[in-house]
Chains A and B, each alone.
Chain A
Amino acid sequence: MAEGSGEVVAAGEWFPRVERARAEGFVHLANLTAVDEVGLSDHIRVLLFLTDAEGARRLRLDVLVDRDRCELAGITPLYAGAAWLQRQVHDFFGVRFTGDDNRPLLNHGGGTPLRKDFLLEPRIQGRWPGALEPGESDASPGRRRLVPPGVPEAGLLDNPDATAAEIALSASGTRVRRGR
């Protein structure tokens, strides 16, 4: 959406930098969202998309928030519309926006579903029909089995030392067959 990639702002500089952007004419909040950078770095990248009033000039501001101490200054004093977008980012990534409303908006079930180490229980508990090998009728134990996307390698979740990055990578799945 923006020209090039986002300008990365230090977390401590977030509010002043956004305030300056608004003063420079970027008065319209187009979007505020996030990406889990686990595997690249232990951060949640929060992205802010701003435009000027005519929508002609665009600015994207990024900030990397620590995955564990996941707090960032809230910007609703600058853009009232940030309120719901921040609550949504909190719902799905666990970022706490200090000074602003962090009540659940869409996700009332808890957890941080869009973090990449968030796993879907039914997939892990469920029996994947693809776990059988050709020529098998039941899954004999002790055999290393293929796992579907969304399920980590057997035993990884039982390992207390498994990192978020390891879990996310293990559950990313492999394509069974590459096209035709």
Chain B
Amino acid sequence: MTHAHGSIALVAERCTSCMICARECPTWCISLTSHTEKSAPAPGARERTHNVLDTFTIDWALCMYCGVCIEQCPTDALLWDGAHVPATDRLSDLLHGLHGG
């Protein structure tokens, strides 16, 4: 049997590191780190700063699978994924980095 709401997936390209998911999560199970980078969009244009996602981790042991992070993400970078997180021998193995480190 497949489950539409088995776990939560990150679409990293859409993430702007805004922190909203980590702040809205009721169980504090989302951690993310980022840094800023500068870029000039066109020659002579004003230099812009943007966020770059470094790490994105969900502690599945704590996750309530409530979907608030998915609802609140302003860029649709979080989605329901079908596969339920497999059982593990150690709690630390339930801490999944979904991107980068």
A and B touch in the complex (CB under 8 A): yes
Q: How far is the CB of A151 from chain B (nearest CB, A)?
A: 11
Name B35's contact: one of A130, A135, A148, A176 (CB within 8 Å): A135
Instruction: Count residues of A near B (Cβ-Cβ below 8 Å).
Output: 16
Main secondary structure of the interface of B (DSSP, over half): mixed
Q: Does A54 contact B (CB under 8 A)?
A: no
9 A-B pairs with C-beta separation under 8 A = A129-B22, A130-B22, A132-B19, A135-B17, A136-B35, A137-B33, A176-B72, A177-B23, A180-B71
> Could you tell me if A134 and B19 are in contact, using CB atoms closer than 8 angstroms?
yes
Cβ–Cβ contact A138 & B33, under 8 A: yes
Whether B18 and A134, one on each chain, are in contact in the complex, defined by CB atoms closer than 8 angstroms, is yes
A9 to B18, CA, bound (A): 51
Expressed in whole angstroms, the minimum distance between the Cβ of A119 and any Cβ of chain B is: 16
**Which B residues are closer than 8 A to A by beta carbons?**
16-20, 22-25, 28, 30-36, 49, 51, 54, 71-72, 74
12 further A-B pairs in the complex, CB-CB below 8 A; given A129-B28, A130-B28, A137-B35 = A129-B32, A130-B22, A132-B19, A132-B22, A132-B32, A132-B33, A134-B16, A135-B17, A137-B34, A138-B33, A148-B23, A180-B72
